[in-house]
Structure 1
Amino acid sequence: MMINPENDVKQYAPATERNRDPIFNVLVTVLPPKGNILEVASGTGEHAVYFAPKLKDRQWIPSEPDEIRRKSIEAWQQFSPSPNLCHPYNINVLNSNWFEPLKDLEITTIVNINMIHISPWEACLGLIQGASNLLPLEGILYLYGPYKREGKHTSPSNESFDQSLRSQNQYWGVRDLESVVEIAEKQSFKLLKTVAMPANNLSVIFQKVS
């Protein structure tokens, strides 16, 4: 991640420009007919400012627990404003009741990009549990990132990435897709589909069914 000089607090994630169009192209095929979109762990804010203007009939609601990144999101909002892009919420999915302040926002989709491998496993559990509490019936949970399948890495680059993550933090790492699906199913979701994405990533889409 790069930080822009000259006192500009906008942050930049190089992968965003590469993956934003493929992500958007998948996302629009699974959005419910109406309702707002919560982005959990919005990071730099680059996805939010890119997606929101393309979905003007919905509110895009970014969130991020890190204060520096929330400031980056706000700076991107000022740089590229869109009336349907909300102020970022301070949300940490490790808090068991993180979804409570959002219950009146008519959220029908939750988007989470590149988080669960750069956070402890408990963050994945908290995300899915909170999403189950927040989303209505037929609501969508969209996850993006690298995954192992049947316990094996899908490419040498993902294996190297996993090793790099674990060397930085023992609680990080590329997750087993089957483990994520199992947790989601226990929280009233069904797996709608997985879609192969650039750089050996996956879009993993769940729907609330009960």
Structure 2
Amino acid sequence: MTKPFSQACENNKNHILKALQPALQNAGSVLEIGSGTGQHSVFFAKKLPHLQWYTSDREVNHQGIKLWHDEVQLANLHPPLLLDLNYSWPLNKVDAIYTANTFHIVSWELITRFFAGVNQHLNQQGVVCVYGPFKYKGEFTSPSNDEFNSLLQSRDPLSGIRDFEAVEQLAVQYGLKLLSDTAMPANNQLLIFKRQ
């Protein structure tokens, strides 16, 4: 198998790291949901050695993630867990949960299940970091996001760029408070929530 590669991961990793560092400075463990190619996990585990970084995804992506991990052999980087938002999560508690470019891919029902899982598995005072595109007051932040949303929904009507206000309201229902909403390159955002 050829090692998977995402140019978007390469483009955004330094910008995300800069925003993540203060949010994760007091954390000891992070669960990444939807690790995809595995590129983010390798980069962040290397740059944030105080963290135990747990990757997870559906089984179809595990081999690619392992190829990235095998190249670096980091003690704080863990093999991918089998995690499907339709089912229970295969771990106990963590200090932080990170997910990138997942909310516009999965259905709203699975986003609800994501926050239910956060409620069960995030330690007190833990943080949740969500990266990706969002709409604000029903409006896209750029014409390209509008076009991207149309493409997503043509492939899967249950997917699409989410309303920030709806995501924040759902997070609040599960005991989270928004700490920051940082604009990122390529019309993305990084939302950071904290468990109250």
Range of TM-score over shorter length:
over 0.9
1:102 paired with 2:91, answer: yes
Which deviations, in whole Å up to 9, do the C-alpha atoms of 1:100-119 show, x marking residues without a partner?
A: x311xx51000000001011
Q: Which has the higher strand share?
A: 2
Separation in 1, partners of 2:27, 2:137:
35
Size of the alignment, in residue pairs?
A: 196
Identity of aligned residues (%): 36
Shift of residue 83, structure 1, vs aligned partner:
1.2
For 1:3, the equivalent position in structure 2 comes to: none
Alignment map for 1:147-158 (pairs within 5 Å): 147-158=134-145
Match of 1:44 among 28, 37, 40: 37
Question: What's the offset of the Cα at 1:138?
Answer: 1.1
Which stretches of structure 1, 4 residues or more, deviate above 4 A after TM superposition?
Answer: none
Aligned to 2:190: 203
Runs of 5+ consecutive residues of structure 1 not aligned to the other structure: 1-6
Match among 84, 101, 107 for residue 114 of structure 1: 101
Match of 2:161 in 1: 174
User: Following the alignment from structure 1 to structure 2, what is the Cα–Cα distance between the partners of residues 121 and 148?
Assistant: 14
Q: CA deviation at 1:79?
A: 1.6
C-alpha distance after superposition, 1:120-166 (max 9, x if no partner)? 11121111111111112210000000000011111101000000100
Aligned to 1:87: 79
Q: Distance in 1 between matches of 2:193 and 2:170?
A: 11
1:25 aligns with 2:12: no
**Root-mean-square deviation over aligned CA pairs:** 1.1
Matches within 5 A, 1:134-149: 134-149=121-136
Measure how far apart 1:32 and its partner are. 5.0
Distance 2:42 2:61 in 1: 14
Give the TM-score normalised by structure 1. 0.90
